[in-house]
Structure 1
Amino acid sequence: MSTLAAYVLDFAYTFTSCITCFPSPSLYINNRSYKIQRLLGEGGFSYVYLVQAQNGELFALKKIRCPFGAESLQIAMKEIDNYKIFNDEHIINMIDSNVVQERDGSKTVYILLPYFRRGNLQDTINANLINGTYYDEKEALALFAEIARGVQVMHKHSATDRNSAAPSSRSSGMGIDFEDDRPLMAEPELIRTPQTLNPSAEVRQVAYAHRDIKPANIMLSQSGLPVLMDLGSCMRARVNVSSRAQALEIQDNAAEHCTMPYRAPELFDVKTDAVLDEGVDIWSLGCTFFALLYCSSPFELQTDESGASLSLAIMNGQYRFPDAPKYSEATKEMIRACLTVEPTKRPNIDEIIHLIRSAQSQFN
């Protein structure tokens, strides 16, 4: 070994040893102290850390830097608002949040979330890929059913008044103003609650779309229940695209926030006078189900084999089912239904759940 190489190794060992001598850095969220254990992930201006509370409990802490003033802060605050909309075990809940003013005048948003020791479904896919293993079909269908139920909660959301039915932030970040009904397909349906509950209460049915469903955004609870996470892209599902400027804004935001291999074809080239709805999530579900079975999204698999453009493969719906592992036609048919290129012909979440149950019936 050369003298230089020996010096570098000695320095690296000494540096690593010194790091372990220092205590873990701490931070406060609304006067509660948390010790940062390690970085779990990062992307764009956000970072996710594993943190430990004073009682030893572990959490995931999302840190969002907002360097571009009010606009970037508004997007982060929208994510906080989104966590407050849903109350269901299939959708991640926010534990706490805080906004901090930095010395340079910018703001940082902290969101405290549950920590899932079992990781996400992408971790499971990666493990299957490395080990050469695959999901048993019956087990996979049971998982599909629970994921679909979480999406159903979003697509069938009910709120008791207009303020709780939509995020408080003025803009969705996707070319939609939540306080302006213009982009919506229709006014949410009004349903009177039973007189025994509250005679004056009104329930509004407001459909939401996650807009970035993929295996990495589905955590596994300790009991194995799939939990939808990362609600930064979540928004009102039904949008009338009324101008070219709005179409381009939606398209650009989709490119930034919706992961390409799981993005619906209608988001690649948004047309003026187009209607976007919950179908964008149905497409993503189909890609996610496919990836759980075959360890790759359908269109990544297609482009790896043919060398074709990923975006063109998605927009044309070009994919195929691998010869192995073997799964039933009923399960494949459910995925085919999700991956219908024409949005108006794509089934809704209730129909997908029905197809999942039909596929499950062969194992009864």
Structure 2
Amino acid sequence: MELIRSLFGQCLPCLPDMSSSSVSINGNKYKILRLLGEGGFSYVYLVSKGTNSQFALKKIRCPFGGNDEAFKNALKEIRNYHRFATAKTPFIIQSIDESVIDEPDGSKTIYIILPYFEQSLQDVINANVLNNHSMPEPDVLRVFIGVCRGLQAMHKYKVYGRNVEDEEDDLLLPGSDEEEEEATTEMSELKPFAHRDLKPANVMLSAEGLPVLVDLGSCSKARVSVKNRQQALSLTDYAQEHCTLPYRAPELLDVATNAEITEKTDVWSLGCVLYACCFGFSPFEKLELDQGASLNLAISQGRYIIPSTHQYSEGIIDLIEKCLQLESSIRPTVDELLEQALEIQRQ
């Protein structure tokens, strides 16, 4: 159930009832096999098309139509699927189809067809903890490198020409965007995005073993200049709702006025994910479990412990320590981390 909750996020109340055994989306008929789980008030079903193809169907019912945040957030999630499809990377999930249905009572129902994954990175980590196993270093590196490649596509996203959809203020921070220069069809503009909720449950493993970043509902413009207290409070509230605490960067715990928030929040989360692959929990969860430390305090102080005995190379530990720098500007870029990880892999 945690897998589905983490994968598909939260929406306003919708009904679990799928009274028919199939649903038609844009002329394609999908047979409903079973309820996979629920996330908040949304429901996810395993469906099939034909004999062998299985997919995940996300159903979101928005009882207040197009004027509430649930509907806007669902459209934002769909935009992100389309946005990163242009990167043509296997390391970020892509939607297969979607449909928005206007119901007679004025509400809306949104259907999204997504690839179905049988296993998440969190599942693998949980199994290792239960069986007192450790993930082999080659597997840790393979996952880390794949996640880096997915984040690369987000952090280096470019807009070509004047794309109205990409100019929207996805963080919903009042007054957070300044006037931007006009782009022409001959020019591209770097507009980094950040995942904002990177954690093992949001890394699925494909049939080929590739890590795939999912849950793009939290993904938003990476660089935000916080100019006043209202924006700081708004972004703090956003982080509390969308960014899972054990993997949340310290600058998002209590956002300061005049803060510069960047894609380096993902780098912190990436370090936590790498630590969890090695030691079973995020570094701050482990400190809480072992010493009863306050999670918020440990994160804000960057306080964690590398176990004294482990099987991992100095290179892996160095990657963790570089990611978990309290000062975001000191953290390396994903490009730099990827280069270092590939060098360790070659050794």
Shorter-chain TM-score range: 0.7 to 0.9
Percent of counterpart pairs with the same letter?
48
Partner of 1:263: 248
Partner of 1:143: 143
Partner of 1:360: 345
CA distance in 2, matches of 1:237, 1:262: 17
CA distance in 2, matches of 1:61, 1:238: 32
Does the C-alpha gap of structure 1 residues 187 and 121 become closer, same or farther in structure 2, counting only changes over 3 Å? farther
Partner of 1:351: 336
Per-residue deviation, residues 56-111 of structure 1 (Å, max 9, x unmatched): 41001112232344132111101111111113111111100011234542222111
SS at match of 1:28: strand
Matched, 1:53 2:49: yes
Q: What is the 5 A alignment of 1:14-33?
A: 25-33=21-29
SS at match of 1:132: coil
Shift of 1:55: 4.2
Per-residue deviation, residues 305-339 of structure 1 (Å, max 9, x unmatched): 11121111111111111234321121101111111
Matched, 1:67 2:63: yes
Aligned residues of 2:91 and 2:150 also touching (Cα < 8 A): yes
CA distance in 2, matches of 1:336, 1:134: 19
Partner of 1:97: 98
Q: What is the 5 A alignment of 1:1-364?
A: 25-69=21-65, 70-71=67-68, 72-87=70-85, 88-117=89-118, 119-163=119-163, 166=166, 170-175=168-173, 181-182=177-178, 201-361=186-346, 364=347
SS at match of 1:112: strand
CA distance in 2, matches of 1:173, 1:47: 25
* RMSD after superposition: 2.3
- In the superposition, the TM-score normalised over structure 2's length comes to 0.87
Shift of 1:216: 0.8
CA distance in 1, matches of 2:60, 2:140: 34
Letter in 2 for 1:236: K
Q: Where in structure 1 are there 5+ consecutive unaligned residues?
A: 1-22, 193-199
Letter in 1 for 2:47: V
Aligned residues of 2:199 and 2:273 also touching (Cα < 8 A): yes
SS at match of 1:314: helix
Letter in 1 for 2:173: G
Shift of 1:142: 2.2
Does the C-alpha gap of structure 1 residues 309 and 68 become closer, same or farther in structure 2, counting only changes over 3 Å? farther
Deviates more, 1:319-328 or 1:61-70: 61-70
CA distance in 2, matches of 1:341, 1:103: 52
Per-residue deviation, residues 204-257 of structure 1 (Å, max 9, x unmatched): 221110111111111111111111111001111011011211111111111111
Per-residue deviation, residues 152-188 of structure 1 (Å, max 9, x unmatched): 1110112322317717xx55254267xx842x9x869
Per-residue deviation, residues 18-53 of structure 1 (Å, max 9, x unmatched): xxxxx9722221222212222223222322221112
Aligned residues of 2:64 and 2:108 also touching (Cα < 8 A): no
Aligned residues of 1:206 and 1:236 also touching (Cα < 8 A): yes
SS at match of 1:128: helix
SS at match of 2:101: strand
Partner of 1:20: none
Partner of 2:6: none
SS at match of 2:163: helix
Q: Where in structure 2 are there 5+ consecutive unaligned residues?
A: 1-18
Partner of 1:8: none
Aligned residues of 1:134 and 1:325 also touching (Cα < 8 A): no
- In the superposition, the TM-score normalised over structure 1's length comes to 0.83
Does the C-alpha gap of structure 1 residues 105 and 312 become closer, same or farther in structure 2, counting only changes over 3 Å? same
SS at match of 1:340: coil
Aligned residues of 2:171 and 2:221 also touching (Cα < 8 A): no
Letter in 2 for 1:288: V
CA distance in 1, matches of 2:345, 2:317: 12
CA distance in 2, matches of 1:45, 1:270: 28
SS at match of 1:108: strand
CA distance in 2, matches of 1:80, 1:282: 24
